[in-house]
Amino acid sequence: MKKTSLTAYLLVVVLFATAIISVCLGDMYISLFQVIQSFTGKGSEAHTMIIEMLRLPRITTALLVGASLAVAGSILQGVVRNPMASPEILGVTGGASAAAIAFLTFAAGTVSIRWLPVSALAGAGAVSLVLYVFAWKRGVTSMRLILIGVGMSALMSGVTTMMIVFNPKNDAGQAYTWLTGSVYAANWENVLLLLPWTAILLPLTMLMTRHVNIAQLGDDIATSSGSRVQLNRFILLMFSVALAGSAVSVGGAIGFVGLLAPHMARKLVGANFRRVMPVSALLGAIIVMLADLIGRTAFIPLDVPAGVFTAAIGAPFFIYLLYARRNES
Amino acid sequence: MRFTRTNGWRAAGLAAGAVLLLIFLVASLLFGAKNYTWKAAWESLVRYDEESVEQVIIRTTRLPRALIAAAIGASLAIAGALMQTLTRNPLASPSVLGVNAGASFFVVFAAVLLSVSNLQALMWISFIGAAIAAVIVYVLGSAGRGGLTPLKIILAGAAMTALFASFTQGVLALDKQGLSTVLFWLTGTIAGRSPDMLGIIFPYMAISWVSAWLLAKGLNILTMGEETAKGLGQRTYLLKIAVGAIVVVLAGGSVAIAGPIGFIGIVVPHLSRYIAGIDHRWLIPYCAVCGAILLLAADICARFIMIPEEMPVGVMTAVIGAPFFMYIARRGLSK
C-alpha cells in the first residue's frame, strides 16, 4: 500500500506540474510569476482574461474528460475480463458520438445544451445494450462481444457521417474536429456540464471496487463468494457507460485513453482495482492534458485535436498488446 | 429447399446476373436528381451530340459513375472473397482488416500535405498504403501460437484501422483547406469522380480479376487447409503472395478512385457462396457480378434518400453491411 500512496502522490505532483505548464504555455507565453500575479489579482488584465476564460476551463475540461474516460475503460476491462476491451473498440464511444451529433443537428437551439451529456449517454447506453443482447447466446463470451463491438463501431461511424452530411447547416470541419476529440474552445459552461457526472460517478465507482475485484476472478468464483454477479456487472457497466458518455459529450471521441490509462495503472500498482481506479483516473487526466498541451503548442498557430495524439500513442500500444498476447487463444 | 448446384445452373445464374447487371447499369444512367428517357441515353451512347445538355450529362456524369460503381463493386467483392479464403475467416474484408484505411491515409497524406495531383502517382501511393496495412495485419494476426485465429486478425485490423484513421485526422487537422476537399471522398463516394482515374486503374483491376479467376483452383485446394495443400504439392507461399498482391491492387485501386467504401467485401462473398457454393472458379465470377450489382443499386438509392443532396455511398454500404457483419460474428466463427 505504501508504494501505491507514493505513486499516487507522485502522479498528483505530475498532474499539477502539467496543469501549471499548460497555464503558462500557448499562443502567448505567460511566465509563472505573471500567472501567480493574476491569481492574486495583481496581473495585467489581458493575462487574467486569457488564463481565466481560455486556459483554465480548457485544462479543467481535459482533466475531467481524461479521468472519466480512464475510469470508464478500467471498469470495462475489469468486468469484461479482457484487456483489449475499451470504449472505442466496442463502439460505446461511437454510440455516444452519434447521439451527440444527432442532438447537435436536430435539437440544438430548441432544447437546452444541458441535455447534451444526457443524449450522448443515452447513445452510449443504447449501444451497450444492443451489444450485450447481440452477443448473448447462452452467456456472453468476450470474443463475441469484441467482434460484434467492431461491427457496432463501424455502424456508428457510418451513422455519424450520415448525420454530418444530412445537415447542411453543420460546419463539416467543426464536426470533424469534434469527432477526433478535442477540448478546443472549452469554457466554464463545459466544465459545469461535465463536473456533476464526474463528481458523482467517481466516488460511486470507488464504492463498487470490491465487486470489480470479485468479477475479475470469473463468474463461478464470484457467484460462489456470494456476489450478485449479474446485478453488479450491470451496475458497473452502466457506470462505465455514463462516464464515457458524459466525457464524449464534452470532449468528443478522444480515443484510447480508456485503454492506455488502466494498463499503465496496473503496471504501476498491480491488479487490485481499489488502487487501479484512482491511479488510472490520475493518469487519464495527465494524458489528455499533455495531449492537449502538445496539440495547441507544437504546431502554432494550428490547434491539433488532442485525440490525434492519444490515438497515435494508443493505437500502437494496442498493437503491442495484441502482439504480447499472441500466444493466448 | 435447395437445388443441387450443377454447372449448368451456375452458368444460367451467372447469365441472369449479367442481365440484371445490365439493367442496373441502364437504370444508373436514367435515374437521379433528373430522370432521362431511354432515347436520350441510347443516343448519347451511339449518336453523341455535344449540343444536347441531357446527352452531355449522361455521357460525362452518369456514364462514368455507372462504370466506376460496377468496377469498384466487383473489385471489392473479389478482394473480400480472396481475403476470407486466405485468412480462413468469414469476417475478413478490405474495410474490416484496415486495408482501406491504410490506402486512404496514404492518399490523403500525399494529396493534402505533399500536393501530389498526378493520378498515376496517387494510384501507386494507394497501392503502397494498402500493401503496408495488409502485411502488418497479416503478420500481427498470424504471429504466435495457434497461428491465424479469427479474433487476433480482427483485432489487428481494428487497431490498424484506428491508427490510420487517427493519422488521417491528424493530417486533416494540420490542413483545414484539405478537409473540405477530401471529406466527401473519405466517406466513400462515387459521385463526381473523374473518369480519368478509372481509365488509369481499370487495366490493373481487369488483370487482377482475371488472375484471381486463374488462381481459383489453387484457392480451392488452399481451403482444405495449409497442410493438405502442401501435401498436394502446392507452393502455398507463392499462392498467398500472389493473392495478397491481387487484394492490394483491387482494394487500393478502389480507394484511389472512390475512397474507402466498406462492407461490400464482406456481404457479397457470403451471398455469392450461398448461391454458387464454395468452388472459387464460380465464386469469383459471381462475386464480380453481385458486387457490381450491389454497389450500383446502393449508388442509385443514395441519390434518392435525401434529395437534393446525395448520400455518400460508403455510408449506405456501412449501414447495410455492419449489421450483416454482426450477424456473421454472432453466428460463430467455427469455420
- Tens digits of per-residue pLDDT, A78-94? 877 777 778 888 888 88
Cβ contact, residue pair B187, A166, below 8 Å: no
Do residues B205 and B249 lie in contact, with contact meaning Cβ atoms separated by under 8 Å?
Answer: yes
| Residue whose C-alpha is closest to residue B291's, from B275, B312, B311, B307 | B275
When CB atoms are compared, the residue of A150, A255, A329 closest to B166 is A255
CB contact A311 to B (< 8 Å): yes
Extended beta strands in chain A, E state: none
**Across A171-175, B34-38, B213-217, B318-322, least confident range:** A171-175
- Tens digits of per-residue pLDDT, B217-258? 888 888 888 788 888 888 888 888 999 999 999 999 999 888
> At A188, which amino acid appears?
W
CB contact B301 to A (< 8 Å): no
- Annotation: CATH topology of A2-324: ABC transporter involved in vitamin B12 uptake, BtuC (1.10.3470)
Tell me the angle at which helices A116-135 and A229-251 cross, rounded to the nearest 10 degrees: 140
Domain residue spans of chain A: 2-324
Do residues B209 and B79 lie in contact, with contact meaning Cβ atoms separated by under 8 Å?
Answer: no
Q: What is the mean pLDDT of chain B?
A: 85
- Percentage of chain B modeled with pLDDT above 70: 97
Instruction: Please check the confidence at residue B1 and state whether its pLDDT lies above 50.
Output: no
- Tens digits of per-residue pLDDT, A304-326? 888 888 888 888 888 888 778 77
Residues B250, B251, B252, CA angle at the centre, nearest 5°? 95
> At A265, which amino acid appears?
A
Which residues are within 8 A (CB) of B106 and not within 5 positions of it... i.e. 6 or more apart? B125, B126, B128, B129, B132
Mean pLDDT of B148-174: 82
Neighbours of A115 (CB within 10 A): 16
Handedness of CA A81, A85, A91, A95 (dihedral sign): positive
Please name the residue of chain B whose CA is at the shortest distance from the CA of residue A326.
B144
Whether the link from the prior residue into B64 is cis, omega within 30° of 0, is no
Mean pLDDT of B168-186: 75
B160 interaction partners in chain A (CB closer than 8 Å): 315, 319
CB contact A157 to B (< 8 Å): yes
When CB atoms are compared, the residue of B156, B179, B326 closest to A151 is B326
d(C-alpha A169, C-alpha A60), whole Å: 30
| Residue whose C-alpha is closest to residue B59's, from B72, B71, B42 | B42
Tell me what pLDDT residue B286 has.
Answer: 92
CB contact A138 to B (< 8 Å): no
Tell me what pLDDT residue A281 has.
Answer: 93
Which residues are within 8 A (CB) of B184 and not within 5 positions of it... i.e. 6 or more apart? A165, B259, B312
CB contact B309 to A (< 8 Å): yes
Cβ contact, residue pair B149, A134, below 8 Å: no
**Across A110-114, A257-261, B268-272, least confident range:** A110-114
| Residue whose C-alpha is closest to residue A244's, from A274, A284, A211, A283 | A284
Q: How far is CA A280 from CA A242, A311, B270, B334, in A?
A: 17, 17, 43, 37
Q: What is the ipTM of this complex?
A: 0.79
Tell me what pLDDT residue B335 has.
Answer: 38
Determine the distance from the C-alpha atom of residue B48 to the mean position of all C-alpha atoms in its chain, rounded to a whole number. Answer: 31
Helix (H) or strand (E) holding B269: helix B264-276
Cβ contact, residue pair A151, B322, below 8 Å: yes
Question: Can you tell me which residue has the cell 460484434?
Answer: A148
Neighbours of B2 (CB within 10 A): 5
CB contact B319 to A (< 8 Å): yes
Cβ contact, residue pair B179, A166, below 8 Å: no
Neighbours of B1 (CB within 10 A): 2
Cβ contact, residue pair A305, B173, below 8 Å: yes
> What band does A28 get if pLDDT is binned at 50, 70 and 90?
confident
d(C-alpha A215, C-alpha A236), whole Å: 10
**Bridge partner residues of A111 (DSSP):** A108
CB contact B34 to A (< 8 Å): no
Best residue of A147, A300, A308, A327 to probe chain B, by most B CBs closer than 10 Å: A147
Q: How far is CA A144 from CA B142, B150, B155, B326, B328, in A?
A: 20, 11, 12, 9, 10
Instruction: Please check the confidence at residue B334 and state whether its pLDDT lies above 70.
Output: no
- Strand, coil or helix: what is A140? strand
- Grid cell for residue A58: 480548457
Burial B199-228 (b: 16+ CB within 10 A, else e): ebbbebbeebbeebbebbebbbbbbeeeee
> At B4, which amino acid appears?
T
pTM score, whole prediction: 0.84
**Burial class of residue B195, CB neighbours in 10 A (0-12, 13-18, 19+):** middle
Mean pLDDT of A197-218: 83
Q: What is the mean pLDDT of chain A?
A: 82
Mean pLDDT of B83-105: 89
Cβ contact, residue pair B155, A146, below 8 Å: yes
When CB atoms are compared, the residue of A177, A179, A255 closest to B162 is A255
Residues A23, A29, A35, CA angle at the centre, nearest 5°? 45
Return the CATH number of the domain spanning residue range B64-330: 1.10.3470.10
d(C-alpha B255, C-alpha B107), whole Å: 9
Determine the distance from the C-alpha atom of residue A323 to the mean position of all C-alpha atoms in its chain, rounded to a whole number. Answer: 25
Cβ contact, residue pair B95, A154, below 8 Å: yes
B325 interaction partners in chain A (CB closer than 8 Å): 150-151, 154
DSSP state of A111: B
Q: How far is CA A143 from CA A140, A234, B121, B237, B320, in A?
A: 9, 19, 41, 29, 23
**Across A6-10, B175-179, B217-221, least confident range:** B175-179
Which residues are within 8 A (CB) of B76 and not within 5 positions of it... i.e. 6 or more apart? B93, B94, B250, B251, B254, B261, B264, B265, B268, B291, B295
CB contact B144 to A (< 8 Å): yes
CB contact B127 to A (< 8 Å): no
Question: Can you tell me which residue has the cell 488452399?
Answer: B222
Helices (H) and strands (E) in chain A, counts: 15, 0
d(C-alpha B248, C-alpha B242), whole Å: 10
Q: Which positions 98-117 of B are in contact with A (Cβ < 8 Å)? A: none
Determine the distance from the C-alpha atom of residue B200 to the mean position of all C-alpha atoms in its chain, rounded to a whole number. Answer: 17
> What band does A174 get if pLDDT is binned at 50, 70 and 90?
low
- Strand, coil or helix: what is A167? coil
**Across A206-215, A278-287, B285-294, least confident range:** A206-215
d(C-alpha B157, C-alpha B313), whole Å: 22
Mean pLDDT of B26-34: 83
Do residues B292 and B264 lie in contact, with contact meaning Cβ atoms separated by under 8 Å?
Answer: no
Cβ contact, residue pair A154, B151, below 8 Å: no
Cβ contact, residue pair A135, B330, below 8 Å: yes
Mean pLDDT of A47-71: 88
CB contact B329 to A (< 8 Å): yes
- For B35-38, the CB contacts below 8 A with 24+ separation are B36/B62
- Tens digits of per-residue pLDDT, A93-126? 889 888 888 887 777 667 777 777 788 888 988 9
> What band does B144 get if pLDDT is binned at 50, 70 and 90?
confident
Mean pLDDT of B14-39: 86
DSSP state of A28: S
Cβ contact, residue pair B323, A148, below 8 Å: no
